[in-house]
Chain A
Amino acid sequence: KNEVEQSPQNLTAQEGEFITINCSYSVGISALHWLQQHPGGGIVSLFMLSSGKKKHGRLIATINIQEKHSSLHITASHPRDSAVYICAVIQPTSGSRLTFGEGTQLTVNP
């Protein structure tokens, strides 16, 4: 079993829909990252969380440390949101190494 698991693996939505991607982890963490990877391959860090909730534009990320769970929400989804979304955690005993989930492929159709 992977230490970081994401669901769903694939998600197709219509433009304007509210989207949720989930991440569960089985280890203690000091922080969690949500990353976005576009078809060209480049990776962008969307959020880094250690508690609570963060919002940036139409993106919202939450984390529940007790339940070892994080969610990434996209409101009013748009075709340009189509990408792979990756959850990654930093464990306090591992220095700075990130452990990655397998990613969620999101496709938003117009």
Chain B
Amino acid sequence: DSGVTQTPKHLITATGQRVTLRCSPRSGDLSVYWYQQSLDQGLQFLIQYYNGEERAKGNILERFSAQQFPDLHSELNLSSLELGDSALYFCASSVPPNTGELFFGEGSRLTVL
């Protein structure tokens, strides 16, 4: 158990819908990272938050947004869903933002039909 909790574990929805994925980092970890893993693109970095502030942005679509709340949990919002958004979405956390060991959640598997 990494200490990082992601919900839901599985989600099936239809095109055009909106979903929210939630991540609770390890106790004390200030940095939260979101990654997408799809069959054709592999693992890709989406976005990072550090202590409530956006720290780095990767290949995140405009239809996607994220935030980190004062209690340090984070949410990834995916809207106007397309078939190609079907993927595993991972959250990871670390204490220091750049060089610390990463702890991954189990992932949220999103299927868009």
Contacts from A to B (Cβ < 8 Å): 30-31, 33, 35, 40-45, 48, 50, 86, 88, 90, 94-100, 102-103
Contacts and interface: CB of A to CB of B under 8 A. Distances in A.
Contact of A41 (B33, B58, B88): B88
A33 B44 CA distance: 14
Contacts of A88: 43
Contacts of B102: 33, 45, 48, 98
Interface in B20-48: 31, 33, 35, 42-45, 48
Contacts, number: 63
Give the secondary structure class of A's interface.
Answer: strand
Interface residues of B, number: 26
A41 B45 contact: no
Nearest to A90: B98
Contacts of A33: 102
B106 A41 contact: yes
A95 B106 contact: no
A80 B55 CA distance: 37
A86 B104 CA distance: 13
Given A41-B109, A43-B90, A96-B48, A50 B55 contact: no
Give the secondary structure class of B's interface.
Answer: strand
B45 A98 contact: yes
Contacts of A95: 48, 55-56, 97-98
Contact of A45 (B42, B45, B103, B109): B103
Contacts of B92: 43
Contact of B98 (A30, A41, A43, A102): A30
A56 B95 CA distance: 21
A8 B58 CA distance: 27
27 contacts: A31-B99, A33-B102, A40-B106, A41-B109, A43-B90, A43-B92, A43-B107, A44-B2, A44-B104, A45-B104, A48-B100, A48-B101, A48-B102, A90-B98, A94-B56, A95-B55, A95-B56, A95-B98, A96-B31, A96-B55, A96-B56, A96-B98, A98-B33, A98-B35, A98-B43, A98-B45, A100-B42
